[in-house]
Structure 1
Amino acid sequence: MQIKHLPEEFKSALPIIHTLEAAGYEAYFVGGAVRDTLLNKPIHDVDIATSAYPEEVKQLFDRTVDTGIEHGTVMILDHGQGYETTTFRTESTYTDFRRPDQVTFVRSLSDDLKRRDFTINALALRGDGLVVDLFNGVSDLEHQTLRAVGHASDRFQEDALRMMRAVRFAAQLDFTIEPDTKQAIVDHAPLLEKIAIERVNVELTKMLQGRNAQYGLLELLATRLNAYMPGLKNVEIDLWGYAELLAKDQPDTPTVAWTLLAFELGLTPKDTETFLRLWKHGNELIQQAQKAITLLNVLRQSEATNWQLYMTGDAFPNAMRVLQLSQLPNDVLELKNRYMQLAIHHRDELQISGKILQSAINLQPGPMFGKILGELEKLVVAGQVANNQSDLIARAKAIAEKEK
């Protein structure tokens, strides 16, 4: 197969290919960029593989960075952009099921491609547009099939994360995992526990946002990968419910994906924090999910008050998106309108401050300040006091007198 018109992303990198070839080495575009080009998808990172060893690459270019020199990767900064260029290599045994015990640089493209995970990712592209396909990857692309290179068991024993990549690619590309590859996932699923949870998190997050996320999640369940993930063992019924939701629509951000998962698992805000910390999520996502879950758990059973909408704060859009995806019988548009019509959306918007309180009602700084401001905040949100300074001062005086 030959690509007659290379995408601009490849054209920009051709000087590197030509420089390597002029020096007597082989050089090819490899990886996801080749796959996505054949699928008519946008290209992201352009990676180059070459028969030149790292030191030989560095001698040919003026500006390079050793981004992964131990694995043969050099970033070439010539020609106005950085391109990761990696020497053909073979890999030894994987004692920890994550990283090769030893990497050996080779001159053979075939030896390099046979260590890759799936046939659709084991394609190489020459500078003249000729596709090098040693494992029938083009055919698998045409038939929308995800197949491991060589023996699937070997690939998953080398790097157990590839099992998660299988369900992720299936979801993102809307491909079917072929039977032998799927059976190898079933056989090796326990190895997933040996993988850093941060790496599993990346794959699961991408999978849940895939265009066929339902299929990816159902395959994850069918292969029992969930049994080796934090908080997802013995919750198949909840995950099947999540899969049903994914058939109709998919989360568009990681925060929405994980908040919806916590909601489908029936977690409290506190349990949500515990669950998300097991997955090594950052504080911002956790806080957004907790605030959204607080409101969603209310809406699951009853109407929300203005104060409950208000307290959701900047997590309100996340909560509404999850509410849409969850298919609860709530009027999302009506809730959005109510939220927008709140007199304030943050305490900073109150037309009164501690300084004003101190001068207007002769109140000295202390615990009473916070109590009065908190009362005023609730009254304004409830619509019981207008958010203007005179009304707020009058009500503040009444609260202070009552407290005395």
Structure 2
Amino acid sequence: MKLTALPAEFEAAKPVLDTIIAAGYEAYFVGGSVRDTILGKPLHDVDIATSAFPAEVKQLFKRTVDTGIEHGTVMILDHGTGYETTTFRTESGYQDFRRPDQVTFVRSLKEDLQRRDFTINALAMKPDGTVIDMFDGLKDLDAGILRAVGVAEERFHEDALRMMRAVRFASQLDFEIEPQTQAAIADNAALLTKIAVERTRVEWEKLLMGQRPQRGLRALLATALYRYLPGMAAHRAVLADLMDNADWHLPTIEAAWTLLAWITERRQSTQVRQLLKQWKTSNELIVHVTAAVSALASLQANGRLTAQENFATGLDALTTANQVAAILGFGQPLDQLTAAYHQLPIHDRHELAVNGGDLIRTGVVTPGPAMGTILQACLTAVIDGQVANQRDALLDFSRMAADTKSD
């Protein structure tokens, strides 16, 4: 196969390959960028493989960065863009099922491609668009099949994360995992515990956000791989229900985790935090999903949020909650929800027209716990529309609140 119209990303990178080839070495575009070009999908990055050893690559270019030189990877900086360029290599001795104990640089493209995970990712392309296919990857691409390169069990023993990549690609590409590859995943699923949670999480999120997540979930359940995902072992039934649901799409990582927390009945804030901490997510994501799950409960119960709930949730988490509610069958018109949010007198506690310093200077309170209590009362009153968000009005309200408290 020869691709006649290459994406702009390849055209921009051609001078890098041309320089390497002119020096007497081989150089190819490899991996996902070749696969996605054939499938007509947008490119996320452009990777280059070469017969030149790292030191030889560095001699050819003025600006390089040793991003992973022990594994043969050098970042070539060309006109403001970085291109990861990796020497053909073989790997051996994967005692931790994650990283090779030994990496050997080689001059053979075939030796390099045969260590890759799936046939559809073991494609190389010359600068002129000629595709090199040594493992029938084009045939599998055409058939929508995910097949391990060579012996599937060996590929998964080299890096157990490849099992999650398989179910992720099933979702992302809407491909079927061929029987021998799927059987090898089932036989080795427990090896997923050898993989850092952070690496597994990336694949899990991509699966949930794929174009056909039902395929990925079906393979996840069929292979029992789900049993080795943090917090998922007891939830086969709800994952199966999700798989059997009508077509749905999760547009963001936040929506994916909100849906997951909801269907596994982690609906209290402590339960949501516990789940996300198991997966080692960011604190920012935990705050967002916790707020979204709380809003989701209100949407289910009432079809709307109170002013206080709107304020506490925030627009971003509210949008997430409604996206998930739509999947679950109780979504609301987003314009109505956002209009109610925008009608709030304030959207952040820092917008309150008085602060602690104002209360002290005007003699309403002295420093201490009472100040926080009165400020919270002011905030609640403003959000509910009981008091205008004006300094004088709030000072009067504060004095009444302080008098009531002292009584």
Cα pair 1:256 1:318 within 8 Å, conserved: yes
Q: For the residues of structure 1 that align with 2:368 and 2:219, how far apart are their CA atoms?
A: 59
- Tell me, what secondary structure is at the counterpart of 1:85? strand
Give the secondary structure class of the aligned counterpart of 1:237. helix
Deviation at 1:360, TM superposition (A): 4.5
C-alpha RMSD over aligned residues = 2.0
Q: For 2:322 and 2:242, locate their aligned partners in 1 and report how far apart those are by CA, in whole Å.
A: 17
- Cα deviation 1:361-383 (Å, max 9, x = unaligned): 55433332222221121122222
After TM superposition, the structure 1 stretch with the greater mean CA deviation from structure 2, 317-326 or 274-283, is: 317-326
- C-alpha distance in 1, partners of 2:5/2:61? 27
Q: Is the Cα contact below 8 Å between 2:175 and 2:215 reproduced in 1?
A: no
For the residues of structure 2 that align with 1:106 and 1:363, how far apart are their CA atoms?
Answer: 76
Aligned position for 1:308: 309
Q: Does 1:231 align with 2:231?
A: yes
* Equivalent of 2:343 in 341, 344, 352: 341
C-alpha separation in 2, matches of 1:372 and 1:362: 10
CA shift for structure 1 position 190: 0.8
Cα 1:232–1:389 change in 2 (3 A) is same
Counterpart-to-counterpart distance in 1, 2:379 and 2:78: 58
Tell me, yes or no, if structure 1 residue 273 matches structure 2 residue 273: yes
Match of 2:66, SS state, is strand
C-alpha deviation, 1:353, in angstroms: 2.7
Could you give the per-residue CA deviations for residues 88-132 of structure 1, whole angstroms, max 9, x where no partner exists?
A: 111113111111111111111111111100111000001222110
Q: Give the alignment of 1:348-367 within 5 angstroms.
A: 348-360=350-362, 362-367=364-369
TM-score normalized with structure 1 length:
0.94
State the distance in 1 between where 2:104 and 2:355 align. Answer: 67
- Are 1:258 and 2:257 matched, yes or no? yes
Partner of 1:376: 378
Pairs within 5 Å for 1:2-401: 2-245=2-245, 247-267=246-266, 268-302=268-302, 304-313=305-314, 315-328=317-330, 333-360=335-362, 362-401=364-403
Question: Once the two structures are superposed, what CA deviation does each residue of 1:194-231 show, in whole Å capped at 9, x if it has no partner?
Answer: 11111000100111111101221221111111101110
Q: Deviations over 1:122-153 (max 9, x none)?
A: 00001222110011111111111111111111
Q: 1:42 to 1:299 in 2, by over 3 A?
A: closer
Where in structure 1 are there 5+ consecutive unaligned residues?
none
Gaps of 5+ in 2: none
| Shift, 1:358, TM fit | 3.7
Instruction: Select between 1-10 and 187-196 the one with higher mean Cα deviation.
Output: 1-10
What is the distance in 2 between the residues matched to 1:349 and 1:242? 41
Distance, in Å, in 2 between the alignment partners of 1:285 and 1:146 is 32
* Aligned-partner Cα distance in 1 for 2:17–2:249: 39
CA distance in 2, matches of 1:77, 1:250: 37
TM-score of the superposed pair, with normalisation by structure 2: 0.93
Secondary structure (helix, strand or coil) at the match of 1:157 reads helix
Change (3 A) 1:186 1:354: same
Distance 1:127 1:324 in 2: 46
Distance 1:257 1:166 in 2: 19
CA contact (8 A) 1:46 1:83 kept: yes
2 CA distance for matches of 1:401 and 1:204? Answer: 55
- C-alpha displacement of 1:310: 2.0
Percent identity of equivalent pairs: 53
TM-superposed deviation, 1:296: 2.3
Measure the CA separation in 2 of the matches of 1:348 and 1:59: 56
Q: Which amino acid aligns with 1:313?
A: G
State the alpha-carbon separation in 2 of the partners of residues 78 and 333 from structure 1. Answer: 46
CA contact (8 A) 2:319 2:334 kept: no
CA distance in 1 between partners of 2:337 and 2:65 (Å): 52
Partners of 1:124 and 1:131 within 8 A in 2:
yes
**Cα deviations across residues 9-35 of structure 1 (Å, max 9, x unaligned)?**
112222222222222211111011111
Q: Relative to structure 1, is the Cα distance of residues 134 and 311 closer, same or farther in structure 2, using a 3 angstrom cutoff? A: same
